[in-house]
Homo-oligomer: A and B are copies of this chain.
Amino acid sequence: MHLQKHINQLAPKWTSIRRDLHRHPEAGWTEYRTSAIIADYLQQLGCYEVHVGPTVCKSSARMGVPSLEELALCEQRAITEGANPRWIEKMVGGYTGVVGVLKTNRPGPTIAMRFDIDCIELTESNSSDHRAFQENFASTHPGLMHGCGHDGHTTIGLGVAEILAHYQTELSGEVRLLFQPAEEGCRGAKAVVEAGWLDQVDQLFCAHLFPNDNFQVAGAIHGFLATTKIDATFHGKASHAGATPELGKNALLAAATATVQLNTIPRHSGGASRINVGTLIAESGRNVIADEATMKLETRGETTEINHYMREQAVNILHASAQMYDVTCNWRLAGEGDHGTSSRDLIPLIGEKVDQIKQKVTFIPEMTIRAGSEDAIYMLNKVQEQGGQAVYMGISGPPPAPTAPHQKNYDFHEDLIAIGVELFSRIALSTE
The interface of chain A, by Cβ under 8 A from chain B, is 120-122, 143, 184-185, 225, 227, 229, 238-246, 248, 250, 252-253, 255-257, 259-261, 263-264, 266-290, 293, 296-298, 300, 309, 316-317, 319-321, 323-324, 326, 334, 369-373, 404-408
Choose among B240, B244, B256, B266 the residue that contacts A256 (Cβ–Cβ < 8 A). Answer: B256
From known contacts A122-B284, A274-B267, A324-B317, infer whether A300 and B242 are also in contact, taking CB-CB under 8 Å.
Answer: yes
Q: Tell me whether B261 and A324 are in contact (CB under 8 A).
A: yes
Whether the Cβ atoms of A274 and B245 lie closer than 8 Å is yes
Q: How many Å from the CB of A283 to the closest CB on chain B?
A: 5
Please give the distance in Å from A261's CB to the nearest CB on chain B.
6
Give 5 A-B pairs besides A122-B285, A246-B269, A253-B264 with Cβ atoms closer than 8 angstroms.
A143-B283, A242-B371, A243-B269, A244-B404, A316-B324
Contact B252 A277 (CB under 8 A): yes
Which of B256, B288, B316 interacts with A122 by CB under 8 Å? B288
Instruction: Check if A245 sits within 8 Å of B267, measured CB to CB.
Output: yes
Q: 16 A-B contacts, Cβ less than 8 Å apart?
A: A122-B285, A143-B283, A184-B285, A239-B406, A242-B300, A245-B268, A253-B277, A261-B324, A276-B287, A278-B285, A279-B282, A280-B281, A286-B334, A319-B323, A320-B324, A324-B324
> Is A278 a contact partner of B323 (Cβ separation < 8 A)?
no
Known: A243-B371, A407-B238. A256 touches B260 (CB 8 A): yes
Q: A285-B279, A324-B261, A324-B317 are in contact. Are A227 and B256 (CB under 8 A)?
A: no
- On whether A229 and B286 interact (CB within 8 A), knowing A242-B274, A269-B245, the answer reads yes
Which residue of B is nearest A318, CB measured? B324
| Min C-beta distance of A227 to chain B, whole Å | 7
Which B-chain residue is minimally distant from A122 (CB atoms)? B285
Interface centre among A143, A227, A244, A290 (most CB of B within 10 A): A244
Q: Which of B248, B297, B309 contacts A286 (CB 8 A)?
A: B297
